[in-house]
């Protein structure tokens, strides 16, 4: 069977050192296949190989040529491993020699995962222009905030120019309206020059509907399993070897050829695979081989809704070896604590007691009964380190999957926003911000598409309305196809000139700086932690320590002043208070005052420090 190539791409059209085009495509069910270049009036037949592959080496195709595969003389389709689609998902693929890009990041070293402070952004709405090059102009802002890693929502080619990215249908191709492959490379290179790691969101659990021609080539899907998006990708059924290779090599090209530092793999619980070696584990094994080859460090991140540590356990511990995972349960517990109604999947969460549990245990449901699921759910992650978990108070899903796409800034008070930010930053986990959060962006982030199939557009509209039918009293579901929905979702950088938004930005900068400069917060050791919660007062006390430094974070989620006894045998000094006047609060802070008791302002956090020997 064809094996994944560690040091180079083996699929699609690639150029060797001799300048010859080396073409390979998997199409086991066709009888003949050729590569067609209309501009040159070329129709070059490929040679059939073992296991359904077709190959050709030729000097007739050059970088920049636009080509299609002709299947049995009946259909012309873009290359499943295309790198560039300048005429969208239905048009020809563009042959590229990406090895010629002039990288300047030879001295770049990826951050250890402990040092990641992640900023999730969507290229199309991050700037007015919505391009990779425009994003480069905002990198100094991210550095000033204290961000160390930029997470980019999916850029795989999708229909039209407006999409979250999860409807991508050509996983190797970089969205043309964003700037294509070279635009992404320029952004990655610029990030590295600023000391920023780059995380790329990839989708290995499904492909979008429009422009999805994979079944014309081979058995990329299986009807053994079904996902929310239709038939599952074929990772363990007949012909699956080639499909697995396709996705393994996809992971490798982002690291090797695009210099990406980490991949965030979307909804891995929807990857159905009962093979002896799960495809995620096989991806990890090949990434480890690539790290040995390049001497660079790469991270794999999972979005996971199973609370099963097998995904993040090491290969040596019979796990899949994924380095980190998102914890939605931290978000859910935090939101309910902050006043989110206990409906839908929030119904499982009691609020502050569950927030305390997730500080201790990462997973809330770790083998206990879930009323929402009507079953016992999850397993313990007590043996997994804090640096394996990513937490947040908002992200693209949790904002954009609300009917109106409201951000936290329009749902809670200014003080509660600051408190929620501190709840994330004081955690023993890796923090993530969603773009604009740092200045309390008020524009929504709504679901948007730009499909060209009218029936599909109408189906999406109906689906969104049905999903939110219980909420229609709050207003009409925004039309996902409308350009207005997309434009409403763009960041308002001009808000940074307004006092309240500037105040929030400075607050975030100080909060991140606090985390970075205090080892008790910076070191993600869940063993050096204690947490208590008072549900009646809505007070949570989180203590963390490292060597000669101990920090106590008192979080008051109530709407009244709370008197709190601080831990005994320590003289505590106020280090940080979200209710400080300089952050728009009402508390006058005396930083030097030692204390045994605290008066904590409503919807605020006070951070105390004690240095001892």
Give CA–CA dist 514/591, Å, rounded.
Answer: 14
**260 neighbors 254 (Cβ within 8 angstroms):** yes
Please tell me which residue in 120, 216, 303, 441 is annotated as part of the active site. Answer: 303
Q: Which residue among the candidates 120, 266, 273, 328 is catalytic per the annotation?
A: 266
Task: Tell me the two tokens of residue 321.
Answer: 């070896």
Using DSSP, state whether 100 is helix, strand or coil: helix
d(CA 499, CA 248): 48
50 is catalytic: no
How far from each other are the two terminal CA atoms of the chain, in whole angstroms? Answer: 62
Helical axes 414-425 vs 328-337, angle rounded to 10°: 150
Residue 543 token pair: 């203590």
What single DSSP character describes residue 155? Answer: -
Concerning whether 340 is annotated as a catalytic residue, the answer is: no
| Closest-CA residue to 83 (of 92, 68, 75, 93) | 93
Pair 390, 428: CB distance under 8 Å: no
What distance in Å separates the CA atoms of residue 15 and residue 582, rounded to the nearest whole number? 58
Q: Cα–Cα distance between 303 and 478 in angstroms, integer? A: 26
Q: How far is CA 457 from CA 120, 454, 468, in A?
A: 27, 5, 17
Residues 6+ apart with CB under 8 A from 1: 51, 241
Give CA–CA dist 374/316, Å, rounded. 34
Radius of gyration over every alpha carbon of the chain, rounded to an integer in angstroms: 25
Alpha-carbon distance 295 to 314, whole Å? Answer: 20
DSSP helix/strand/coil, 335: helix
Q: What is the 3-state secondary structure (H, E, C) of 496-522?
A: HHCHHHHHHHHHHHHHHHHHHHCHHHH
CA–CA gap between residue 148 and residue 120 (Å, rounded): 11
186 neighbors 205 (Cβ within 8 angstroms): no
Catalytic residues: 266, 303
């Amino acid at each position: 069977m064809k094996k994944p190539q560690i040091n180079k791409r083996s699929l699609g059209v690639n150029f060797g050192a001799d300048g010859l085009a080396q073409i390979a495509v998997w199409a086991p069910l066709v009888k003949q296949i050729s590569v067609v270049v209309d501009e040159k009036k070329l129709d070059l037949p490929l040679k059939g190989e073992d296991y359904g592959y077709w190959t050709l080496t030729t000097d007739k195709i050059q970088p920049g040529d636009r080509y299609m595969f002709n299947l049995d003389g009946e259909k012309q389709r873009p290359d499943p491993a295309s790198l560039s689609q300048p005429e969208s998902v239905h048009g020809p693929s563009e042959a590229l020699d990406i090895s010629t890009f002039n990288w300047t990041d030879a001295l770049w070293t990826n951050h250890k995962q402990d040092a990641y402070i992640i900023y999730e952004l969507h290229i199309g709405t991050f700037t007015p222009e919505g391009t990779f090059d425009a994003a480069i102009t905002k990198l100094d802002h991210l550095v000033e905030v204290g961000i160390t890693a930029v997470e980019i929502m999916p850029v795989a080619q999708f229909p039209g120019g407006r999409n979250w990215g999860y409807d991508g249908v050509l996983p190797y191709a970089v969205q043309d309206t964003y700037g294509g492959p070279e635009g992404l490379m320029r952004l990655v290179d610029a990030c590295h020059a600023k000391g920023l790691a780059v995380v790329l969101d990839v989708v290995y659990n499904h492909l979008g509907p429009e422009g999805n021609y994979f079944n014309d080539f081979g058995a990329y899907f299986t009807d053994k399993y079904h996902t929310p998006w239709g038939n599952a990708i074929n990772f363990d059924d007949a012909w699956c070897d080639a499909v697995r290779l396709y996705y393994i090599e996809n992971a490798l090209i982002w690291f090797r050829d695009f210099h990406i530092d980490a991949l965030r793999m979307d909804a891995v619980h929807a990857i159905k695979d009962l093979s002896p070696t799960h495809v995620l584990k096989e991806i990890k094994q090949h990434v480890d081989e690539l790290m040995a080859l390049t001497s660079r460090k790469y991270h794999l991140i999972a979005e996971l809704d199973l609370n099963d540590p097998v995904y993040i356990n090491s290969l040596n511990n019979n796990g899949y070896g994924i380095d980190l995972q998102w914890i939605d349960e931290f978000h859910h517990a935090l939101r309910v604590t902050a006043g989110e109604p206990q409906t839908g999947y929030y119904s499982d969460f009691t609020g502050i007691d569950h927030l305390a549990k997730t500080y201790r245990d990462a997973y809330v449901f770790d083998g206990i009964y879930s009323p929402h699921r009507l079953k016992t759910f999850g397993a313990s992650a007590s043996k997994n380190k804090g640096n394996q978990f990513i937490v947040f108070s908002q992200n693209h899903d949790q904002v954009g999957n609300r009917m109106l796409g409201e951000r936290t800034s329009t749902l809670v008070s200014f003080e509660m926003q600051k408190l929620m930010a501190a709840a994330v930053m004081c955690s023993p986990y890796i923090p993530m911000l969603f773009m604009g959060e740092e200045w309390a962006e008020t524009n929504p982030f709504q679901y948007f598409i730009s499909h060209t199939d009218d029936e599909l557009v109408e189906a999406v509209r109906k689906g969104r309305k049905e999903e939110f039918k219980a909420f229609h009293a709050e207003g009409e579901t925004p039309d996902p196809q409308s350009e207005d929905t997309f434009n409403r979702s763009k960041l308002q950088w001009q808000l940074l000139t307004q006092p309240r938004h500037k105040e929030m930005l400075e607050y975030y900068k100080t909060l991140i700086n606090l985390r970075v400069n205090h080892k008790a917060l910076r070191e993600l050791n869940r063993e050096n932690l204690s947490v208590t919660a008072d549900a009646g007062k809505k007070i949570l006390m989180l203590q963390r320590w490292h060597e000669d430094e101990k920090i106590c974070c008192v979080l008051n989620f109530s709407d009244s002043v709370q008197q709190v006894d601080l831990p005994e045998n320590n003289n505590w000094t106020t280090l940080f208070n979200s209710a400080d006047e300089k952050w728009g609060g009402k508390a006058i802070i005396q930083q030097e005052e030692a204390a045994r008791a605290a008066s904590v302002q409503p919807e605020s956090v006070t951070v105390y420090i004690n240095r001892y020997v």
